[in-house]
Amino acid sequence: MIKTLLRKVLGLALLGIGCYYLATGVFSALLLLLAPTESGVVVATSISPRPASTNCACVVWGVGLVMIPPLGDWEAIPKVGDHVAVLACNDGYSAGTLKSGRALRRVWLRAIRLTTVGGSLLAGYYVMKRRYL
């Protein structure tokens, strides 16, 4: 009795979490496919950690949005005034990522991983249902 109840609870948990991950991954991939590309300009901004201040490359795009990408996201060392392509997520008003190199790979891999985990959990639910439930 308790084993059957635990199997059903585990099956429902697999089903729910699997559907959530699968839907999130597919939705993220669709947003990436449909996101518009906008032009951004590289500017230098002074950031000031405690010991000394240093310049940091930022991208200004859209309606004056500023994005500070991690250093590894740049394909080459950026210069002030360079134009870069920005993938504008959320209608271009709040979020974006560089449309090249590591930044784009990172967001695509996140969507692929979510979809894969969701599909695996649903496959596990199917196998468990066919065998035990």
Tens of each residue's pLDDT in the chain, 133 residues: 888 899 899 999 999 999 999 999 999 999 888 888 888 899 888 776 666 667 788 888 877 888 888 778 888 888 888 888 888 876 555 677 888 878 888 889 999 999 999 999 999 999 988 886 5
Per-domain residue ranges of the chain: 2-131
Q: How crowded is residue 120: how many other Cβ atoms within 10 Å of its Cβ?
A: 14
Query: Which pLDDT score, from 0 to 100, does residue 62 have?
Result: 77
- Please give the backbone phi and psi of residue 118, each rounded to the nearest 5 degrees, phi first: -60, -45
Residues 6+ apart with CB under 8 A from 24: 114, 118
pLDDT at 119: 95
Helix/strand/coil for 18: helix
* Report field, pTM of the whole predicted structure over 0.85: no
Sheet of 83-89, strands arranged across? 65-67, 54-61, 37-47, 83-89, 95-98
pLDDT in the model for residue 117: 96
